[in-house]
Chains A and B, each alone.
Chain A
Amino acid sequence: QKEVEQNSGPLSVPEGAIASLNCTYSDRGSQSFFWYRQYSGKSPELIMFIYSNGDKEDGRFTAQLNKASQYVSLLIRDSQPSDSATYLCAVRPITGGGNKLTFGTGTQLKVEL
């Protein structure tokens, strides 16, 4: 089992719709969870992080965390063509400690006009 799993997609949504991106992780003791956006040919950029169970909202983005189910998701409301990118889920595992992040392979999102 991979440490961080994401559906590779592509996930296609129409402009204005809600995009839902999902991620599961294997290390039950993981404490911190991150969502990065990566445009084609560019480097990943941090868009949200979450530590506590529940929802965290930032503008059009909402991160959701369920530690019991080892599941984290990212919702993008009112999706725009500029949201088309690959979204990477990252987890700071408790095993091994330190400051390292383990990344999933990403979900490609396509927002269609």
Chain B
Amino acid sequence: DAGVIQSPRHEVTEMGQEVTLRCKPISGHNSLFWYRQTMMRGLELLIYFNNNVPIDDSGMPEDRFSAKMPNASFSTLKIQPSEPRDSAVYFCASSFQYSYGYTFGSGTRLTVV
């Protein structure tokens, strides 16, 4: 099992550019989560999907953020336009619904300059 796979590992972009983060969950997991981690705010849930359907997007900061899960093996988180305050580590995690905790991917460190 390769675990949760995220790409890219690092992304540096200029303010105003579009950024797309990608995630492949563990095969067979039917819940997928996008979190953002900063020193000040810790891990914040942005959005999560069950069976490819968005269940709770209340953590998405604003309309600049969007997430999709077109199938059970792929999800994207898009920021357009990006701003310096979006700089953070973005984690994707997956689990069986209602199971005992998540498995996290390695994260994408995003820097917006």
Interface residue? A105 (CB, 8 A) = yes
Q: Tell me the bound Cα distance from A36 to B95 in angstroms.
A: 15
Once the chains bind, are A49 and B43 in contact (CB under 8 Å)? no
Once the chains bind, are A101 and B104 in contact (CB under 8 Å)? no
Contacts of A106 in B (CB 8 A): 42
CB proximity of A105 to chain B, nearest CB, Å: 4
Q: Tell me the bound Cα distance from A98 to B55 in angstroms.
A: 8
Interface residues on chain B, number (Cβ under 8 Å): 23
CB < 8 Å: which of A43, A96, A99 contacts B104? Answer: A43
CB proximity of B106 to chain A, nearest CB, Å: 5
Once the chains bind, are B95 and A44 in contact (CB under 8 Å)? no
Q: Tell me the bound Cα distance from A36 to B105 in angstroms.
A: 14
CB < 8 Å: which of B43, B95, B103, B105 contacts A99? Answer: B95
Once the chains bind, are B91 and A43 in contact (CB under 8 Å)? yes
Interface Cβ pair total, 8 Å cutoff: 52
Q: Tell me the bound Cα distance from A98 to B45 in angstroms.
A: 13
CB < 8 Å: which of B55, B97, B102, B105 contacts A101? Answer: B102
Once the chains bind, are B45 and A100 in contact (CB under 8 Å)? yes
- Interface of chain B residues 36 through 83 with chain A (CB within 8 A): 41-43, 45, 48, 50, 55-56
List 21 A-B pairs, Cβ < 8 Å.
A36-B101, A42-B106, A43-B106, A46-B100, A46-B103, A49-B100, A49-B101, A98-B55, A99-B48, A99-B50, A99-B55, A99-B97, A99-B98, A100-B45, A100-B48, A101-B33, A101-B45, A101-B101, A103-B35, A104-B42, A106-B42
User: Can you name 8 extra interface pairs (CB under 8 A) apart from A43-B104, A103-B35?
Assistant: A43-B107, A46-B103, A88-B43, A96-B56, A99-B95, A101-B33, A104-B42, A106-B42
Q: Which residues of B contact A (CB under 8 A)?
A: 31, 33, 35, 41-43, 45, 48, 50, 55-56, 91, 95, 97-98, 100-107
